[in-house]
Structure formats: structure tokens, C-alpha cells
Amino acid sequence: MPTIVPKSSVSEVTGLVVLLDAHKGSEDIARLADDLDLEIDEILPSVDYAEVLDLLTVEDGRATLTEAGRRFLKSTIRGRKSIIRDQLSRTTLFRTLLRALESAPERTLGEDDVVRLIEFTSAPSDEVLQNILNWGRYAELFRYDADERTVTAIRHLPPRQPPASGKAPPDARSSRGLADPPRAAARPTGPEEKSAPLASAIA
């Protein structure tokens, strides 16, 4: 996927995709702009980034929903986040940012570090930086601490795969025919003997 910075917000792209679905999944961009009471150049940033995320395609000035776009619309909020997370991770910008986070101490970068990364692809601005942070947070790729002005990667573990039989594997101890060893009861001595009930509860 291309190196491109988001010049539109999550809500703007989502609203565009929802509107396109209301037009039966395909419509002239100029008509979509009219529906939103926008000039065509005002809607193009959302169209461009929706295309980067493979939510729609554009041909001869007409936008059409993709299969990923239709899945996005049908998904739950969690499902939508997952789709956007996968798509963002394939862009050069976010892939570079995630690699930098993975190699950084405590997987955390300062805001200035993020700006320096953006400079490789575009002239950074406060709006572009905010959009990048908002997209990453929405997709749960990273957390942003506004007080510390730091970005920290979020590691997503792959889902656990059930065994081929479809049954949970037996406990290793049980498979060997061994029971959990009994705990040895603590024998208080001396002055501690008065605290035997408490000691037993803690043991």
C-alpha cells in the first residue's frame, strides 16, 4: 500500500463509507460531495484515505465499495477496529511507525519522534499528527499519553487455536495420572501458635 498520511478523520472516512452504502455501494464522488454539502476538493481527502484502506475503489470519478468496505459496514465496533488495524498495518507510514515502536525502549516513542518519522513522507502539521494519532488509537495499534506526549505500542496476541479434536487438552498433571500434591500444613511454634488459624488461611 502507498505511503500516505491521513488528511481526514476516522469519523469522516466512516461517514463517507456509510453514505456510499446508502447509494447502493457506488456513486459519483461529485454527487457524494453534494449530499454532504461539500465542495469536491473537501471530500477528496476522505475518498483518498478510504481507498488507501481498501474500503472503496475509485474509477473515472466514481467510488465503489470493496468487499472489505462491505465487511466493515456489517461488522461490530470491535470488528471494524480489527479491519482498520489490519489495513493500517499494511501502509508504509504505520508499518514504519510500528517498527520504530517495537525497537524503542519500553516500546514507547515521544511525540517529537513521531513527527520526525512523518517528515519522511509528508510535511508534518498539527492536523496530520492528530489524525495519525487518532487512527492509531482507534485501531488500537498504540496508546497515546497526552500528558507525557508519548505513544506506546499495543501488542495483540494471536487468537488461541483449539486442538484438532475440538476438545480442550487435558491437564498435563492429570494426563500423567498425578494428583496435585497436598500442601503441608504449617506447624506454628512458640508465640506464633496463637495465630494458627490465620497462618492456615494464608498458607
Tens of pLDDT, residue by residue over 55-105, are 999 999 999 999 999 999 999 999 999 999 999 999 989 999 999 999 999
Number of domains in the chain: 2
The predicted structure's pLDDT at residue 177: 44
48, 4 Cβ separation under 8 angstroms: yes
Does 190 fall in a domain? no
Flag whether the pTM goes above 0.85: no
Q: State whether 94 and 62 are in the same domain.
A: no
The CB-side HSE value for 202 (13 A sphere, CA atoms) comes to: 7
Q: Three-state SS for 135?
A: helix
Q: State whether 148 and 123 are in the same domain.
A: yes
> What is the residue range of 111's domain?
77-153
Q: Which residue has the higher pLDDT, 202 or 77?
A: 77
Class of residue 182 by CB neighbours under 10 A (exposed 0-12, middle 13-18, buried 19+): exposed
Q: Which residue has the higher pLDDT, 15 or 177?
A: 15
Lowest mean pLDDT across 39-53, 90-104, 111-125, 150-164 = 150-164
The predicted structure's pLDDT at residue 4: 79
Does 37 fall in a domain? yes
Q: State whether 87 and 122 are in the same domain.
A: yes
Does 171 fall in a domain? no
Q: State whether 90 and 66 are in the same domain.
A: no
The predicted structure's pLDDT at residue 60: 95
Does 172 fall in a domain? no
Does 196 fall in a domain? no
The predicted structure's pLDDT at residue 116: 87
Domain boundary residue, one of 40, 55, 74: 74
Kindly state the average pLDDT of the residues 38-60.
96
Does 179 fall in a domain? no
Q: What is the mean pLDDT of the chain?
A: 82
Q: How far is CA 26 from CA 20, 80, 84, in A?
A: 6, 20, 21
Does 34 fall in a domain? yes
Q: State whether 81 and 112 are in the same domain.
A: yes
CATH of the domain at 19: 1.10.10.10
Does 193 fall in a domain? no
Q: State whether 64 and 119 are in the same domain.
A: no
The predicted structure's pLDDT at residue 38: 94
Class of residue 114 by CB neighbours under 10 A (exposed 0-12, middle 13-18, buried 19+): buried
Q: State whether 131 and 112 are in the same domain.
A: yes
